[in-house]
Structure 1
Amino acid sequence: MRPGAPPPRVDLPQRLIDALFRRVARDLTLAMALLELAIVLGRLPGFQAGTTPPVLLVGPFLAFLVCLSGASLLAFGRPDRRMADAVICAGNASLSLVFGTMSLWYADPIRLFVFAILLLMAGVFQRSRTLYAVNLAVTVAALAFGLRGAPMPRSSAGIAYAVFFAAAAAGLIAHLLLTALVKRLHRALVRARSARQEVAVLQGLIPICAHCKKIRNDGGFWEQVESYIASRTAASFSHGVCPECLERHYPKPRR
């Protein structure tokens, strides 16, 4: 930053939202890493016995490293929207590739129903439209590859496709609702911060006329106390007459 230049504007509400999503993305990615680790440990005896191909062990292990690295970045890095979205996208895509390639060695279509969860997760906690599209494309491609290696029986193909379509639609709805919720949350935090700043102004030095009791606002204009406070707080006024003013301005007639 150049000497004498104004400091960069910090969007505190956005940083609070980013910090919240960073924690959620960290926990979600860590859960993905533990799932991949469980897959690796489950296939390790078969690999040692020579019945499990090495690729079925290497693939989940690489996905485990990807998810673990993403969780570490989110745990020790600064709150950043792009990083959180990218880590969730990488974790979900790696899981999709692992389960998609499994059909080359395990022609079991029942395993492919895990893609219903992955299609739903593609839209959950994903605020970037671009990364959501990439995530969804990778998941659908991995599902298509898995269906090619392990096609569904004709008797249950219609139900399976309906489940996958419903999961993808639910993921899209979750993505749209999430982006709308983030915008509303940001506006609410901005309004709350502005209200706190206005309250802080009222707690400071307020110039008031010694005679008419008008208050000078930030623009240099004098306005009534009621309008000044009502425009900066949620307070409202109801007017009455105190006993002293009642006696002074409305004296009782003497008999």
Structure 2
Amino acid sequence: MKPVLCFGEVLWDAFGETKKAGGAPMNVAWHLKQQGAAVSFASSVGRDASGDELADFLEQSGLYSDLVQQDDTLPTCEVTVQLDEHGHATYIIPQPVSWDNIRVTDTLLNAARNASAIIFGSLACRGTQTRDTLHELLSESNTLTVFDVNLRAPHYDRDTIHTLAARAHVVKMNEDEAELLIGKGGDLKQKIEEFHGTYHSQTICVTRGDKGAILWHDGKFYEHDGYPAHVVDTVGAGDSFLATLVAGLLNNESPDTILNRACRVGAYVAGQRGANPSYNIAEVEAL
């Protein structure tokens, strides 16, 4: 199968004195690779010590290539992660940083043209340069497009979100993001159908934390109540869910099977420290 192209931010998540490599698109790429998918990752790091360390991490993880650019002027991103008593995370994200300046290259265009899917989020589109690059990639490709809404206040605006949603075959969001895009109150299924009527997405998924997720795919709803987890932190749980969802869609698995596995993997990751624990997908499914 052609590789899945994950496009966007890569960064250090700082938990006090400890830091871990992160960024939603990179996390998704990591989890796709854990699950045996072919994957490529496009981003930018600064030409600094933090960037060198991130490049080393990506190389060790099998995610480094000439799709990872180096920026001579903007620094590598280091995010402060704050966890509440339930392990839920909030983020302080500096701006501008290296991945705000991802540029179009022939290599990147070829990767988009030859991808089985392109996964992108809202955060890297907060600035003009990276947003314009993404739109050019989407215009040059004819493949499955996946929008991970992944809102990080104040780093988004409604016009950008609506534009990205309109270009996506698959849209994944959490409950809070759904309230912003679909509206508060009322019947969620009806609102998802209204969302489809506006954006014509083939697949729409709303994750509901420890209550599982609801999936609309090809005109039919599927639901899962989720799996219990002893939450260490929620960083990366949604990214692992999305990776599992995309892998299942590309393998033409049944939506029920995909949703069950995605909820299981998300619960497993929420029970680990950081976004990218190593695991064997067969072992996770057997838990």
* Structure 1 length-normalised TM: 0.25
Q: Considering only CA atoms, is the larger Rg found in Structure 1 or Structure 2?
A: 1
The structure with the largest strand share of the pair is 2
The structure with the largest helix share of the pair is 1
* Structure 2 length-normalised TM: 0.23
